[in-house]
Structure 1
Amino acid sequence: MIENGKNRHTVWLTDEAWNMVGGEYKADGCSTQNEYIEKAIRFYTGCRKADRNERYLIDAISGVLETRLGALGDRIGKLLFKMAVEESMMMRLLAMDESLTFSELEHLRKWAIQTVRKTDGGLNFDDILRIQQ
């Protein structure tokens, strides 16, 4: 029998569940217990779909972030290696000058800190050599 586009279905419920429907359907603004049950089924199904979609989005976003962060890590690693090479060259040249005193070294350190802050760390040995000349 089809009534208002709906079919009759037999559903087995515990007495406790049926009593819950009877006590809540009017408070929810439903005109019948069937309307309340259908609404509850749609709500629960929507929650389950949202949970699956949320997990899908979390997995998708996680995959993108892992890829991007991996590339960022590689880039930072390469930049740190470049900086270590530049620093090694600088320390070797500085150590070759035996006339340098510790107070001069401290003055040089302060100058280097200020220069790096001004240039946001974008200096290399060639830039410093140009400044010195």
Structure 2
Amino acid sequence: MDKIRTGIYVSGDVLAECDDYCTKQDISRSELIEQALKLFLATRTIYTKSNVLVPELAECIAQASDEGITKISKGLFRYAVEVEMLIAILAGVFEVSKNELKDIRREAVNNVRRTRGKINLDDLITRNFDEGIADDE
């Protein structure tokens, strides 16, 4: 692409700031001005076409959001099915009073809050095993 030489008038402080930037970025003044003009023109194009771009962008964001929500919902449903199965199995094996169930729920809520949902099954088993030994003593 052929380059055209042209002259421009710029205030001294803007030129000094440009030269400082060019030195730090190791680019020429011409490269900086060309990049700045391209950015300005692109920004103007986006601004003038924003009545088309903004609704299209909003629609794309909404669609991506809906897809993400659908995936999360399906995952939560599968998870809930597995939890329901575990609860049914455990309820068939253990007899737990309503008060014991309240205590277990309170402890579970506190553990999830404390660990921010990063519960380690090994830690739970070890803790419950240690508590069982302490209760036996």
Q: TM-score range by the shorter chain?
A: 0.3 to 0.5
Larger radius of gyration: 1
The structure with the greater share of residues assigned to helix is 2
Higher RCO, 1 or 2 (CA under 8 Å, sep at least 6)? 1
